[in-house]
Each structure stands twice: as structure tokens, then as C-alpha cells.
């Protein structure tokens, strides 16, 4: 029987709608052999999901998806086999969460100037246990106050890029993200490159930064893009990764268990991991 995996999944710890436990249970129902939950800038899913995966006989790879600042846009770097309690990843995530909180105050100040006061403490309350407080939580507060008819209007009128209450957010560079993943004992893979603006033409630079793998299998990668990325990975002796980028029911039908990746992809990643660990021992 063919074995399948999914190495790119979001949970309620970031912006997905399934809890880490629900993700593992669904993966078991769909008979996936291995999964990695890769929340945006957050690792809290790991401690919840790992024991459930063990119980259900699913191999679990600790992962993350780090948003990085690249030119005008964003580039997403996936991390696998990370030690999520390592000081390096903790320091990066603390800095990210702090910058998110600072930004909430800045956005609320702008909204007040615009005549739509929102108390930052209310926003933090709405965010509750989420690891990452963000604009969606401000949008909820604005709707509650009757400033906007719905959440989308809050973005369209005030919060989206270029709108009057937009404030940029600090993000690490791709190099910082890759280095942090390495310091945490993990491997870094470049996410959905063929559908990220400015990624394909800069792939050489990212490879030079020490990326270990390229995400080849992705729902929005066309077959010719898959082929090209696979060839580039082979030419540079990089591993390949792949996954559904499932966000639960947030984006239509959940892709977890529907879009799946052959198990040999994980084997390529493990070979890369083993070869790096071997080099480290020799040094």
C-alpha cells in the first residue's frame, strides 16, 4: 500500500480552523502516515499534537512556517525537525509576538485619529489564547462597535495594506529565519515558491542562504512548476517537501487528507537530516 504524508498544515494556533488534536484525528481517518503542523510563527500545536499522533500511530514532525520580509513582499520559510523549546526559536518568536502587540497599539492609535476608537486591551481579550494577535482581532472589535458591517469591510476600508489604519509589521529576513531553524536543530524549506511573488527569480539567492529543501508538492503548483522545482532541488542536492497548506474550513473544503504527498518525500528529508547530523559530528 502506498503511504502518504502532509507536511504543511495550519491549526487554531495560527489561522487554521482545526485544533491540533482535530488535525491528527483527521489525518488518521484519511490514513496519512506522517504529518507536520506548520503554524505561522508559532509552535504551540506541537506539544498538543505529538502525543495524539503517537497514540494514533502517525509519525509527527515538529514544524513551523515563518513569515519573512523579502523586498516589498513576504516569503514563507518552513522549518522541520525543530526543537521548539530551543532558545533560538523562542527568542525569534518572542520578538515576533512582541512586535505584533506593539503594532496593535499603533493601529488603535490610528483608528482613534480616524474617529473609531478601539481599546487595545479589548483586542487582546478577543485574541484570547491565540499565539499571534493580529488585524483579524481588531476587525472583530470594529464590528462589535458598529464601525463596520462585517470583518471584510474593516480590512477593505481601514486595515488592509495601503488603507488609512495599516501599519507594517516587523518580520525577520529569510536569512534570519533559516539560521534560527538551523540553530534549533531543524531543516529549512522554501514554501510555495512558484506562487510567491519574487521567489522563482531569487531562488538562487535563497539557496545560497543555506536552505535545505524546496517545497515541490503544493495544491497551487502546476505540474510544470513542480517539475522545475524538483529539477532545481536535484541540481543543488536539496531535499524536497510538500503539503496541503490546509487551513481547515477557512478556505473552502479542507484539503487535509485530500491533497497528499508520497512518503518518499519524507525519506528524502530524513536523508538530508541524517547527512547534516553526520557532518556536525565530524566537525
Euclidean distance between CA atoms 181 and 209, whole angstroms: 12
Task: Sketch the per residue contact string, 95 through 134, with Fe ion: x for CB under 5 A, - otherwise.
Answer: ----------------------------------------
* Residue count, binding to Fe ion (CB under 5 A): 4
DSSP symbols for the chain: ---EEEEEE--TTTT-SS-HHHHHHHHHHTT-SEEEE--BT--THHHHHHHHHHHHT-EE--EEEEEEEETTEEEEEEEES--TTSHHHHHHHHHHHHHHHHHHHHHHHHHHHTT----HHHHHHHHTT-SS--HHHHHHHHHHTTSSSSHHHHIIIIISTTSTT--------HHHHHHHHHHTT-EEEE-SGGGSTTTGGGHHHHHHTT--EEEEE-TT--HHHHHHHHHHHHHTT-EEEE---B-TTTTSS--BTTB-EETHHHHHHHHHHHHHHHHHHH-
Q: How near is the Cβ of 247 to Fe ion at its closest, in Å?
A: 8
- Tell which positions 36-95 bind Fe ion, by CB under 5 A: 65, 76
Closest to ligand AMP by CB, 15 vs 65, is 15
Rounded distance, CA 100 to CA 103, Å?
A: 5
Which of the choices ligand AMP, Fe ion, Zn ion, none does residue 181 contact, using the CB cut-off of 5 to 8 A by kind?
none
CB of 228 to Zn ion, least distance (A): 25
In whole angstroms, the minimum distance from the beta carbon of 102 to ligand AMP comes to 12
CB of 206 to ligand AMP, least distance (A): 22
Please report whether residue 15 would count as binding Zn ion according to CB under 5 A: yes
**Binders of Zn ion among 239-268, rule CB under 5 A?**
none
- Least distance (Å) between residue 243 CB and Zn ion: 12
> Shortest gap between Cβ of 250 and ligand AMP (angstroms)?
8
Which one of residues 77, 229, 245, 254 is an interface residue with Fe ion (CB under 5 A)?
245
Partner interacting with residue 155 (select from Zn ion, ligand AMP, Fe ion, none; CB below 5-8 Å by kind): ligand AMP
Interface residue list for ligand AMP (CB under 6 A) = 15, 134-136, 152, 155, 160, 169
Annotate each residue in 188-207 with x if it binds Fe ion (CB under 5 A) or - if it does not, as one string: ---x----------------
Piece in contact with Zn ion (CB under 5 A), picked from 11-19, 180-188, 201-209, 210-218: 11-19
CB half-sphere exposure, 158, CA atoms < 13 A? 28
Which residues lie near Fe ion (CB under 5 A)? 65, 76, 191, 245
Amino acid at each position: 500500500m502506498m503511504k502518504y504524508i502532509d507536511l504543511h498544515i495550519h491549526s487554531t494556533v495560527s489561522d487554521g480552523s482545526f485544533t491540533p488534536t482535530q488535525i491528527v484525528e483527521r489525518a488518521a481517518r484519511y490514513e496519512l502516515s506522517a504529518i507536520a503542523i506548520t503554524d505561522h510563527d508559532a509552535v504551540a500545536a506541537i506539544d498538543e499534537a505529538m502525543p495524539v499522533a503517537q497514540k494514533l500511530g502517525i509519525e509527527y514532525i515538529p514544524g513551523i512556517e515563518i513569515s519573512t520580509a523579502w523586498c516589498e513582499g513576504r516569503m514563507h520559510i518552513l522549518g522541520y525537525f525543530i526543537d521548539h523549546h530551543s532558545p533560538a526559536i523562542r527568542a525569534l518568536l518572542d520578538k515576533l509576538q512582541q512586535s505584533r502587540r506593539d503594532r496593535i497599539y499603533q493601529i488603535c492609535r490610528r483608528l482613534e485619529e480616524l474617529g473609531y476608537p478601539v481599546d487595545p486591551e479589548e483586542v487582546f481579550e478577543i485574541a484570547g489564547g491565540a499565539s499571534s494577535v493580529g488585524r483579524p482581532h481588531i476587525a472583530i472589535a470594529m464590528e462589535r462597535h458598529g464601525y463596520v458591517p462585517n470583518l471584510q469591510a474593516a480590512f477593505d476600508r481601514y486595515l488592509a495594506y495601503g488603507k488609512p489604519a495599516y501599519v507594517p509589521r516587523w518580520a525577520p529576513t529569510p536569512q534570519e529565519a533559516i539560521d534560527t531553524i538551523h540553530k534549533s536543530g531543524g531543516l529549512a524549506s522554501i514554501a510555495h515558491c512558484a506562487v510567491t511573488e519574487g521567489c522563482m527569480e531569487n531562488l538562487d539567492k535563497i539557496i545560497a542562504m543555506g536552505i535545505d529543501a524546496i517545497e515541490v508538492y503544493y495544491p497551487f503548483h502546476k505540474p510544470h512548476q513542480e517539475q522545475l522545482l524538483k529539477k532545481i532541488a536535484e541540481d543543488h542536492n536539496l531535499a524536497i517537501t510538500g503539503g496541503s497548506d490546509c487551513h481547515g474550513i477557512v478556505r473552502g473544503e479542507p484539503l487535509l487528507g485530500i491533497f497528499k504527498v508520497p512518503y518518499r518525500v519524507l525519506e528524502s528529508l530524513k536523508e538530508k537530516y541524517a547527512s547534516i547530523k553526520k557532518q556536525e559530528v565530524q566537525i
